Amino acid sequence: MSRYARQMILPDVGTEGQERLARAHVLVVGAGGLGCPVLLYLGAAGVGRITVMDGDMVEESNLHRQVLYTMGDLGRPKAAAARRQLLAANPSLQVTAQVAPLDAANAAGMVAAADLVVDAADSFAVSYVLSDACRQQGKVLISASALGQSGYAGGFCGGGPSLRAVFPDLPARAATCATAGVMGPSVGMIGALQAQLALKSLLNHQPSPRGQLFVFRLEDLQVSSFRFDEAEEPEGALPVVAASQITAADTVIELRDAAEAPGLPAPRARRIARADLLTAELPTKGRIVLCCRTGLRAWAAAAELKAAGYGNLALLAAGHSA
């Protein structure tokens, strides 16, 4: 146990706490800028079993912030490359690589197998899917988002308020690291905090990370936090579905034009621009599934349809950055 000696000296860790970490199974969704420090610190702390889930490949433009990878990892699946690096640093771990994106179809099973879930995907569609699954199963979710020099991290679900309770609405516009940029140390700080919150939750430290949100505005050198233990769950939350969950009874609407999305997300799907949606002939019965790349246009379109009297709506994010 010499590897963890300095950690076990802490009175609130000790031998019992270290054994608890060794028995724990953490699901980390996303092996990018947030996921890299999360995985490094959870592995170094001795979390015995880690499942890392990511469908993306390592690219050279990732390397300034995704410090788990090297030039030798270019073109490899992030999940597999992360597993190799974690085991090289700590061979006693059990690390499983899932080279696939998380969606509404596989989320419940992935969450059920874990003791705690870390959302490091930096995708609101994935975050909401994970939050819904964790809330239903009573699992703690440590979720974060980072862009530019700003972001947040907090503890959700597990008997406390969900992510939807704190963020019931989406932003009007989407930005990504590719379009807006990101500073490596900023996303690294937030990912490291996620690892700290995950460890404190596994060790049952008080105050609990569940119900606590940290907000980073590093462009102004500001960090703040607040508790949201009494936040109420929103009513009529728009569900996020996977393509495999679409049925023949659903009306699927692709909001993207043919240049942006040459293929349709489902058989018999209709391509309707958002501007034409309210004047289109839509069924008043059955579910309407709205599809775009990130889900933002679908979210806004669903709000307009809901105001127009349509009730059974769902969102499909057909492609999003992790």
Residues taking part in catalysis? 177
In terms of Cβ atoms closer than 10 Å to its own Cβ (0-12, 13-18, 19+), residue 117 is: buried
CB-count burial class (<10 Å; 0-12, 13-18, 19+) for 144 = buried
DSSP 168-183: -S--SS---HHHH-B-
The helix, strand and coil proportions of the chain, stated in percent and rounded to the nearest 5, come to 35, 20, 40
Q: Is the separation of the CB atoms in 137 and 108 below 8 Å?
A: yes
Burial 210-223 (b: 16+ CB within 10 A, else e): bbbbbebebeeeee
Instruction: Give me the count of residues in the chain.
Output: 322
CB neighbours of 311 closer than 8 A, spacing ≥ 6? none
Beta strands in the chain (DSSP E): 25-29, 49-53, 94-98, 116-119, 140-147, 150-157, 212-217, 222-227, 251-254, 270-271, 288-292, 313-317
Burial of 90-107, coded b for 16+ CB within 10 Å and e otherwise, reads beebebebbbebbbbebb
